[in-house]
Amino acid sequence: MNIVYSMNYDKTKNTDVTEYQLREFQNLINIIFHCCQERLAYQSRKFCLPDAELRCLIFFNDEKYLTSKNISLKMKVGKSRMTKIIAGLEEKNLIRRIKDPEDSRIFLISLTSSGKAKLAEIKAFQDDLHRVVLSQVNGQERKKLLANLDLLKACMESGKEFMMGFNVLF
C-alpha cells in the first residue's frame, strides 16, 4: 500500500508533543474505545438486539418517521445492509413500514408501541450509565471534564480532516 500526501503536513509543527504524551494519548484512546465497545456489546446482550439494530432504533429518538435512506446515511451502511437491519427490527415488531402518501415508491419507517417501549428502556439505561460515570467526578471537575471532552472531540474532528488529506493507493 502506498500512501501519497495530498496536503502539506509539517511534522515539525508538533515538536512540543513528547513521545511520552503521544504514547499516553494513544493508550488512553485505546482504553476508552475498548470501554465503549464493551458497553455496546453489553447493551446488545441486555436488550437482545444486534448492535446495528440497537443503533438504528436510537435514531428514532426525536423522529416520528425515517426513511431507509435517511437511516443508512446516518449509520453509514449500504442499501443491502440497511434492508437486513430493517427486516430484523420488523421481525421483532419494533418498527413498521408504511407507504409515503406523497410518493408511493418510498416507505416511511416508524416505531411500533413495542419499539417505543424498547427505545425508552435503552435511553433510560444509557442515561443511568452516563449519570453513574459523571457522578464519579465532583461538580467543578465535571465541568472541566466536559470542556476537555468537547476539546478532544474538536481535535478528533481535525484528525478526520487530516486523514481526508491523504490519498491511499493500493
Give 78's contacts (C-beta < 8 A, 6+ positions apart): 72
Question: Domain total for the chain?
Answer: 1
In a domain, 69, yes or no: yes
Instruction: Answer whether 145's CB lies under 8 Å from 137's CB.
Output: yes
In a domain, 1, yes or no: no
Task: Going residue by residue through the chain, which has 170 residues, state the pLDDT in tens, using 9 for 90 and above.
Answer: 444 444 455 555 656 889 999 999 999 999 999 999 999 999 999 999 999 999 999 999 888 999 899 999 999 999 899 999 999 999 999 999 998 888 888 889 999 999 999 999 999 999 999 999 999 999 999 999 999 999 999 998 888 777 877 655 54
Give 152's Cβ-side CA count (13 Å radius): 11
In a domain, 110, yes or no: yes
CA distance 90 to 97: 8
Domain that holds residue 103: 49-114
